[in-house]
Structure 1
């Protein structure tokens, strides 16, 4: 998402032609570790293992969207007043998502699934049709329902209400179509020379089906999806020292977690006590403004070239 949002739409694929084919060694190490654990019969679906996987996908995944404001300053020339308005808008959208979780969680769940599908679909530039990219993005969610439908349904219900079981059934019904689209994307990636990416995604989807949902999602989100976006963000913010760049991500991620914790204290009865459910709700609350900000920047950059001004 970072790449498509912070480069002009007419040139972002040319600027980073290998956007979808970057796979870091850490992914293969994590995938191998999970395969070994599964073959040894380790209880990856037990509470302790699920809690560990939850910490992994929050700690390793949340920072990849933590640089939005820094990229906003870098990409679009804004005075201080306009910048604060943009920051206020970002926070306001996140707060709306939190309020949706507190008042109409079923709506929040549907919105989260839609945003996640769009976001993950942006990892498939080889699929030219936008609806196909969304379908490929949705496959990340749908794959888990094939092998663990009841677990996914229980998670949706914990995040929302009992009616969310119907949403899980819809996702399960759509799984064959979304996975077929993903297979097409993998074949196209292979033919275009992105063979590491194609192999990694093929393995990832097998593990999304075979592994418990939280473990499979953590593998995809933290070790395949997020590192690439973090590397792109680092390239765009290359004049930051490494210490400052890491500190910025850690600080903003920490503020997000503290904000969620504060809301949890203010209205504890409005949230399910499950740590996993709350982790996904937190992720959703920042994913929506993250997507909207990138769309806004993309429109701004149609008329304004990318700027490399200092932050």
Structure 2
């Protein structure tokens, strides 16, 4: 039998103080009776999950450059392919939004499942990744269905019903993952994820997702990318994340302006559509990089922050 893997540094056993502060704030305002499902609150949550979540995919090209030697033409082709996949997702939102929604939910489950390395079977990791969506659907089925419909079309309400039916299995698998994490010493991760799932059930869906995505999921992936790109200066690191995230937002707004009739005007729905458009190429490239690193032990691992004498110096994202 294969030994269980403890969550690696920067992925499963690191929880940053900002998460506990954000969770405490949400619990406090909920106990005080502050309505969190109003447009203003939803707008703040949308800004938080876009601003806090988009940057963790902004270093994909820099990580690609670090993991494989590419000449200028190869880099242009890689960047072009990345952008083409993102544009394909935008096209799907405009022409086949239901297909785009299904792809988004599947990609989210797979990507969030990467936070559960203590679960050996890939299907179990996907189920645990889907628990984030399932918990929100159990707590607020009508709101989640309405969001799915706003993102695609009225048939999307059926998807919310399917997720609700599958939610007990996803949450049971997640409970097993939490128990394994606790037994293996990842106490902070186990506690944080348990609290997060409870809040996903209790809080409005967008608010709960913002807590998970911007304060629990994204920071660990950013830490992993930072460790691999340890020789990138802090100024260039921050600039790369801000620049590429801003370009993604501006590109989406430009496409939205050119095709206003095909995209829902609700800001929250558009934010999730934007997230989906960049999530699919991010998932594909990140999984390829993981396989590349697994096959190349001489490359620095995610939690190795040491700088070797022959490590390439800061060359920026491109």
Q: TM-score with structure 1 length normalisation?
A: 0.93
Which structure carries more helix by proportion?
A: 1
Aligned to 1:125: 117
Tell me the SS of whatever aligns to 1:240. Answer: coil
Aligned to 1:279: 271
Matched, 1:306 2:309: no
State whether residues 200 and 208 of structure 2, in contact with CA within 8 Å, keep that contact through their aligned partners in structure 1: yes
Q: For residues 131 and 249 of structure 1, what CA distance do their matches in structure 2 show?
A: 31
- Deviation per residue, 1:138-194 (Å, 9 max, x gap): 000010011100000000000000000000000111111100110111011000010
Q: For residues 65 and 293 of structure 2, what CA distance do their matches in structure 1 show?
A: 13
Return 98-107 or 16-25, whichever deviates more: 16-25
Aligned to 1:7: none
- Deviation per residue, 1:21-42 (Å, 9 max, x gap): 1001110000000000100111
- Deviation per residue, 1:270-303 (Å, 9 max, x gap): 1000000000000000000001112333444465
Offset, 1:236: 1.2
Alignment of 1:180-195 (within 5 A): 180-195=172-187
Aligned to 1:87: 79
State whether residues 186 and 201 of structure 1, in contact with CA within 8 Å, keep that contact through their aligned partners in structure 2: yes
Tell me the SS of whatever aligns to 1:134. Answer: helix
Aligned to 1:151: 143
Q: Are the structure 2 counterparts of residues 36 and 287 from structure 1 closer, same or farther at C-alpha, using a change threshold of 3 Å?
A: same
Bigger relative contact order, structure 1 or 2, given CA contacts below 8 A and separation 6+?
A: 1
Offset, 1:309: 3.0
State whether residues 6 and 117 of structure 2, in contact with CA within 8 Å, keep that contact through their aligned partners in structure 1: no
Q: For residues 27 and 60 of structure 2, what CA distance do their matches in structure 1 show?
A: 34
Q: For residues 46 and 9 of structure 2, what CA distance do their matches in structure 1 show?
A: 33
Q: Are the structure 2 counterparts of residues 26 and 100 from structure 1 closer, same or farther at C-alpha, using a change threshold of 3 Å?
A: same
Tell me the SS of whatever aligns to 1:244. Answer: helix
Offset, 1:232: 1.3
Matching residue within 240, 247, 250 for 2:242: 250
Q: For residues 218 and 17 of structure 1, what CA distance do their matches in structure 2 show?
A: 23
Q: For residues 6 and 36 of structure 2, what CA distance do their matches in structure 1 show?
A: 41
Aligned to 1:52: 44
Matching residue within 84, 90, 101 for 1:109: 101
Matching residue within 242, 246, 256 for 1:264: 256
Aligned to 1:6: none
Q: TM-score with structure 2 length normalisation?
A: 0.91
Alignment of 1:70-81 (within 5 A): 70-81=62-73
Unaligned regions of 5+ residues in structure 1, if any? Answer: 1-12
Offset, 1:18: 6.8
RMSD across aligned positions (CA): 1.5
State whether residues 13 and 189 of structure 2, in contact with CA within 8 Å, keep that contact through their aligned partners in structure 1: yes
Offset, 1:16: 3.6
Matched, 1:37 2:37: no
Unaligned regions of 5+ residues in structure 2, if any? Answer: 301-310
Alignment of 1:228-243 (within 5 A): 228-243=220-235
Aligned to 1:10: none
Matched, 1:199 2:191: yes
Return 227-236 or 258-267, whichever deviates more: 227-236
Tell me the SS of whatever aligns to 2:185. Answer: coil
